[in-house]
Chain A
């Protein structure tokens, strides 16, 4: 998503909405989270959720505009967004693209296609061994989160 953001931020606004954790230590923790040292219990307070959100953005130097869902999970529920999901809202305030439910149907390429259809394709040189922009979180299966996670 960071690459898509960099490619289209002059044409579209972006907002990452941080929702409840997908694989906290006290629920369904993934081995990969232990390996990557991403170990957090499910926040019980807004302060705890804010702390994790800040850890995330600092660790990945995450450049997208960021908002944190409150403890009522209002945004998550309104958009059926857990564990991860993408939407595009058009200029009139209507849903223009509704991504599938992550992790299996979380497809940034579809959002890119939508943006490319509106603003043109942004082409990149084939990778020459250089590291890509760091992903906010491993898109492993079935790890839910992370784009911020994710």
Chain B
């Protein structure tokens, strides 16, 4: 029994190392992999939206800091391409 447990732990550890290796490769370095786990993964969600769903609305602020408008105000006449992102 002890031997099986030891073997299982070894396999688990090996998988963990491989997973971290893959993540490090994807992120660029082991340090980046750690940051990815700490800062990126908690905010990354696939979401439930799918093609055909009604587009959600949200209120946005214009670059002047004063104008407020809703995403759905921009829909209706023509297709609307939404580009989400940030500077960094």
Closest chain B CB from A47 CB (angstroms): 8
Say if the beta carbon of A122 comes within 8 Å of chain B.
no
**CA–CA, A38 to B58, complex, Å?**
27
- The 0/1 profile, CB within 8 Å of A marked 1, for residues 53-86 of chain B is 1111111111101000101101111111111111
B44 at the interface (CB under 8 A from A): yes
B78 touches A13 (CB 8 A): yes
Residue B4 is within 8 A (CB to CB) of chain A in the complex: no
- Number of chain B residues whose Cβ lies closer than 8 Å to a Cβ of chain A: 49
One digit per residue, 1 when the CB lies within 8 angstroms of any chain B CB and 0 when it does not, for chain A 1-33 equals 100110010011111111111111001111001
Determine if B50 is an interface residue (Cβ-Cβ < 8 Å): yes
Asked if residues A28 and B72 are in contact (CB atoms below 8 Å), the reply is: no
Give the CA-CA distance A91 to B62 in the complex, in Å. 23
Contact between chains at B80 and A88 (CB < 8 Å) = yes
* Contact partner, B82, options A52, A87, A118, A145, Cβ 8 Å: A87
Instruction: For chain A, give the interface size range.
Output: 35 or more
Q: How far is the CA of A104 from the CA of B75 in the complex (A)?
A: 28
Are B85 and A147 in contact, CB atoms less than 8 angstroms apart? Answer: yes
- A-B pair count, CB < 8 Å, reads 232
Contact call B87/A55, Cβ cutoff below 8 A: yes
Give the chain A neighbours of B83 by CB distance below 8 A.
1, 14-17, 64, 86, 147-148, 150
Knowing A57-B63, A80-B47, say if A91 contacts B76 (CB, 8 Å): yes
- Please state if B87 and A145 are interface contacts (CB–CB under 8 Å): yes
Closest to A149 in B: B85
Assembly CA distance A91 to B75 (angstroms): 6
Indicate if B6 sits at the interface (CB-CB under 8 A): no
Find out whether the CB atom of A149 lies under 8 angstroms from the CB atom of B87. Answer: yes
Find out whether the CB atom of A87 lies under 8 angstroms from the CB atom of B63: no
Contact (A149, B58) CB under 8 Å given A17-B83, A67-B69, A98-B51: no
Whether B88 and A19, one on each chain, are in contact in the complex, defined by CB atoms closer than 8 angstroms, is no
- In the assembled complex, 18 residue pairs joining A and B whose CB atoms fall closer than 8 Å, in A order, are A8-B81, A12-B78, A15-B81, A19-B84, A19-B85, A22-B86, A27-B35, A53-B63, A69-B60, A79-B47, A79-B49, A85-B85, A86-B84, A89-B80, A95-B51, A137-B87, A142-B40, A148-B87
